[in-house]
Structure 1
């Protein structure tokens, strides 16, 4: 069975209010202003690659805009359909179906055996 190719992993941290959280992540942690902000999710990155890692990124999520659950991380992959098929073949619970979202991603949510929910995603081109 093929293994899913992972391009990037982003932690999805639950926050009650993104504007209220912004100063901690930008001023204290030194992450840049938002890479993007959809109101319910915003991504912050380091202003430049670090010595130890290619790029530092984190996402703040108030609640997912369309899925019934919030993920703990977003896993980017070049072939989300193959990843979905593999998750089903392995018997993992799909908690949000493979969906083209209006903000330009194709994704699904899967529950790991430990209960964590992961957003498996590919950015539409």
Structure 2
């Protein structure tokens, strides 16, 4: 299993202000679903940051997202390890398959793969 990118998720009600602020550092909007907006560096597209008012289909807002090449294998590894699954593996309408897991520090990690 390979990691494709890691994205911090900032819980925020100030998406527009965040877009403007991080735009001053060179970030550009690459995704906006209304409840989550992702900014990325044009020169290094995997350098990203997301701002979320709240997660659309999960009970909590994740602290970070980790995109992997095999989300099913990641889910199996986490379950086998006994890690706390916060949100079950499921396909989302916006084209990802994902689950949430709590890390040893109490942080919620959104582990995903694109379908």
The answer to whether the superposition gives a TM-score over 0.5 is: yes
Measured after TM superposition, the shift of residue 25 of structure 1 is 1.4
What does 1:52-67 correspond to in 2, within 5 Å? Answer: 55-67=46-58
Question: SS at 1:7's partner residue?
Answer: strand
Deviations 1:32-62 (A, max 9, x none): 2x1010001111111213xxxx742111111
Give TM-score, length-normalised by structure 2: 0.93
Structure 1 outlier segments of 4+, above 4 Å: none
Query: Is the 1:10–1:58 Cα contact (8 Å) retained in structure 2?
Result: yes
The CA deviation at 1:16 is: 1.2
Match of 1:91 among 47, 59, 82: 82
TM-score (norm 1): 0.86
Corresponding position of 2:108: 117
Count the aligned residue pairs: 115
Query: Which structure 1 segments of 5+ residues have no match?
Result: none
Instruction: Point out the more displaced range, 97-106 or 16-25.
Output: 16-25
Partner of 1:14: 11
Secondary structure of the residue that 2:7 maps to in structure 1? strand
